[in-house]
Amino acid sequence: MHAYAANVYTTVVEELMKGKQRKFIAVEQEFFRLWWDMVATDTQKQQVHQLLQEGRLEFVIGGQVMHDEAVTLIDDQILQLTEGHGFLYETFGFRPQFSWHVDPFGASATTPTLFALAGFNAHLISRIDYDLKADMQKNKKLQFVWQGSPSLSARQEIFTHVMDQYSYCTPSQLPFSNRSGFFWNGLATFPDPPKDGVYPNMSLPVTDANLHLYAQTMVANIKERAAWFRTGEVLWPWGCDKQFFNASVQYSNMDLLVDYINKHSAEFGVTVQYATVSDYFQAVYSRNLTWETRDSQDFLPYSTEPFQAWTGFYTSRSTLKGIARRASSLLYAGESFFTQYVQKHPEGSICKYKALEQLQSLRWAVSEVQHHDGITGTESPKVKDMYMNNLMYGMLNVKKLMASIIFDINSAKKNGDVYSSVYTKDSGKPGAADVDLYVVVYNPLAWNITTFVTVSVSSEAMSVYDELGRSVPAQVQSSVESQSTYDLYILVAISGLSYRKYSIKPLGGEESAFIGSSVKYQRRALARAGQQSQQLFPVVNSCYQIVFDQNTNLMHSITDRETNQTVQFTQEFLEYHVNGDTKKGPISDNYLFAPNTSAVPVSKAVGLEVMSGSLMTEIRQYFYSNVTSEDYAYAVYTRLYSVPEGYDGKLLCHRIEQEYSVGPLELNREAILRTNTSLNTRQLLYTDNNGYQMQTRPFKAYVNNTVARNYYPMVQTAYIEDDTTRLMLLAERAHGVSSQGNGQVEVMLHRRLWNNLQWDLSNNLTLNDSSVVRPVIWLLLGSKALTNTLYRTSGLALEHRPVVMFGALSGGDKPKLPGQLQQNSVHDLPVTVPPNLHLQTLSIPGWRYSSNHAEQVKSIHMGEQKQGDADFSRVLLRIRHLYEVGEDPVLSQPVVVDLKSLLKGLGSVMAVEERSLTGTWDVNTLERWKWKTAQHPGKRFFNSTETSEDFIVTVHPKEIRTFFVYFQVQV
**Spacing of C-alpha 742 from chain mean position:** 30
- The Cα–Cα gap between 112 and 154 comes to 12
Beta-sheet strands, E only, within 10-151: 24-26, 57-59, 122-125, 143-146
Provide the H-helix boundaries in 240-317.
247-263, 265-268, 277-285
Sorted by sequence, the CB contacts under 8 Å of residue 88 that are 6+ apart come out as: 29, 59, 62, 94, 95, 96, 920
- The Cα–Cα gap between 311 and 66 comes to 19
Active-site pick, 37, 76, 103, 466: 103
Q: What is the DSSP string of 170-200?
A: ----BTTBSS-SS-TT----SSS--TTS--T
- Do the Cβ atoms of 907 and 968 come closer than 8 Å? yes
β-strands 57-59, 24-26: how paired?
parallel
Starting at the edge strand found earlier in the chain, the sheet holding 462-465 runs 418-421, 803-810, 435-442, 499-506, 462-465
- The Cα–Cα gap between 582 and 586 comes to 6
> Which helix or strand (DSSP H or E) is residue 292 part of?
none
| 659 SS3 class | strand
- The Cα–Cα gap between 406 and 824 comes to 18
Starting at the edge strand found earlier in the chain, the sheet holding 960-967 runs 837-843, 874-881, 960-967, 909-915
CA distances from 450 to 253, 351, 965 (A): 66, 33, 29
The CB density around residue 905, as the number of other CB atoms within 10 Å, is 20
**Spacing of C-alpha 156 from chain mean position:** 21
Q: What is the DSSP string of 897-941?
A: EEHHHHTTTT--EEEEEEE-TTS-SBGGG--PBPPPBSS----B-
**Spacing of C-alpha 214 from chain mean position:** 44
**Spacing of C-alpha 929 from chain mean position:** 29
| 499 SS3 class | strand
Which residues are 519's β-sheet partners?
610
Could you tell me which of 705, 707, 641, 636 has the C-alpha nearest to residue 675? Answer: 636
- Does residue 769 have an active-site annotation? no
Could you tell me which of 56, 74, 71 has the C-alpha nearest to residue 112? Answer: 74
Q: What is the DSSP string of 549-615?
A: ETTTTEEEEEEETTTTEEEEEEEEEEEEEB---GGGS----SS---BSSS-EE--SEEEEEEEE-SS
| 488 SS3 class | strand
Provide the H-helix boundaries in 345-478.
352-368, 381-410
- Do the Cβ atoms of 879 and 837 come closer than 8 Å? yes
Phi-psi group of 885: left, alpha or beta (phi > 0 → left; psi -120 to 50 → alpha; rest → beta): beta
- The Cα–Cα gap between 730 and 712 comes to 15
Q: So which residues are the catalytic ones? A: 103
